[in-house]
Amino acid sequence: MKKTGFIALMAGLLTMTACSEKEAPVLNRADFQMEFTGKKTDLYKLTNANGCEIWVTNFGARIVAIMVPDKKGQMQDVVIGFKNIKDYTTQASDFGSTVGRYANRINQGRITLDGVTYQLPQNNFGHCLHGGCDITIPMGWQNLVWDVKEVKGNSITLVMNSPDGEAGFPGNVVATATYTLNDKNAIDIVWKATTDKKTVVNMTNHSYFNLNGDHSIPITNHLLTLNASNFTPCDDTYMTTGEILPVAGTPMDFTKAKAIGKEITNFDYVQLKNGNGYDHNWVLNTKGDDTKCAAKLYSPITGIYVEVYTNEPGIQFYSGNFLDGSGLDKQGNKMEQRTGCCLETQKFPDSPNKSNLPGWYSAELVPGQQYYSHCIYQFGVE
């Protein structure tokens, strides 16, 4: 081999090595191994044939990192979060978590089933948010350690055994969360649950997406499309009013792709003032058909997009309004306001107390039935 050829080969190998080191998420499995509330936490990596990766911890059945290619073919981490388990267990966050028993809010933390009223934690303006999550007193499944049932190369199934009365909810509930990374670069999520007493269940994934590659760049540049002609307005405590209103002619209209930041500070519009930005549930036109695209998020910087498919009636779009710079993310950035956004597939907020909703919108689960919720995050580039 000629000297020039050898030098070129070595330069190429060094470039490949440098790229791989740059592209890999800075995660160390040992940094996610500890004992919390009597159970051991760990970190698991799922891969597909294209070299994409998902990193999952059994603390809260959380997605820690998602690695997908950008328009140049370089791998980018598209969700924000911490780089060790200590931060997850000591700093209040829902980053990447599986939320349960009930995602979103329940008015005044009260539900009534068969004439019996149950009082739940009131952790958000007097309401029960995300199952009553509280990092200091673990409530809500996002702050508990799940059991790992099965791990394959591209899939993991985690189990939560929730006892009757946990966080005030009735029924012994057995729930599973299964993440599968397929070769189409999609994360396929299936949640299932059973109960021995009538209860309510509403599970979702709470990943904070930032498709910019550099997570210090806010998501206000992202283009968002929501396949929804209506939304459920909220009051100044973030509780839905019971109304279903059209998005047409309002800043809530994402039926055509629009930059998240275009109208986000238009606080003359009361819903944006009430939500401090976008923190609302949209009524999906897909009506439970998980073959139809419910939402699409796109970064013009990387060309990465994520499409959302679900069998659920609603999706909560949250624009990261309350991120306040506390803590450092995996990239070493402060997680400032609107450096991540969520697309949470779900039953409607407070559906146990909204009798005007159609039956299939109900979150009630009874013995002998199985709760089933499906969400797909399909990644690609434009």
Q: Enumerate residues 6+ apart whose C-beta is below 8 A from 103.
A: 130, 131, 202, 203, 204, 206, 316, 344, 346, 347
Strand partners, 110: 119
Strand partners, 246: 230
291-302 pLDDT, tens digit each: 999 999 999 999
Does 2.70.98.10 match the CATH number of domain 27-381? yes
| Strands 173-181 and 155-162, bridge-based pairing | antiparallel
The reported pLDDT for the residue numbered 285 is: 97
Q: Is the pLDDT of residue 26 over 80?
A: no
C-alpha 302/C-alpha 211 separation (Å) is: 7
The reported pLDDT for the residue numbered 360 is: 66
The reported pLDDT for the residue numbered 25 is: 58
Question: What is the rounded average pLDDT of the residues 34-55?
Answer: 97
Q: In the structure encoding, which two tokens stand for residue 253, read together?
A: 């209209």
pLDDT band at 327 (very low <50, low <70, confident <90, very high): confident
Output phi, psi for 62, to 5 deg.
-95, 140
The reported pLDDT for the residue numbered 173 is: 98
The reported pLDDT for the residue numbered 133 is: 83
Of 81, 26, 22, 91, whose CA–CA distance to 57 is shortest?
81
The reported pLDDT for the residue numbered 64 is: 98
The reported pLDDT for the residue numbered 22 is: 37
pLDDT band at 359 (very low <50, low <70, confident <90, very high): low
The reported pLDDT for the residue numbered 287 is: 94
Question: Mean pLDDT of all residues in the chain?
Answer: 92
266-285 pLDDT, tens digit each: 999 999 999 999 999 999 99
The reported pLDDT for the residue numbered 139 is: 77
Could you say which DSSP state residue 328 is in? B
C-beta atoms surrounding 372 within 10 Å: 10
Question: What is the rounded average pLDDT of the residues 114-121?
Answer: 97
Percentage, residues of the chain above pLDDT 90 = 88
Domain-by-domain residue ranges, the chain? Answer: 27-381
149-168 pLDDT, tens digit each: 999 999 999 999 999 999 99
| Catalytically active residues, by annotation | 206, 344
pLDDT: is 360 or 228 the higher one?
228
pLDDT band at 134 (very low <50, low <70, confident <90, very high): confident
Q: Is the pLDDT of residue 190 over 70?
A: yes
Percentage, residues of the chain above pLDDT 70 = 92
pLDDT band at 357 (very low <50, low <70, confident <90, very high): confident
Q: Is the pLDDT of residue 142 over 60?
A: yes
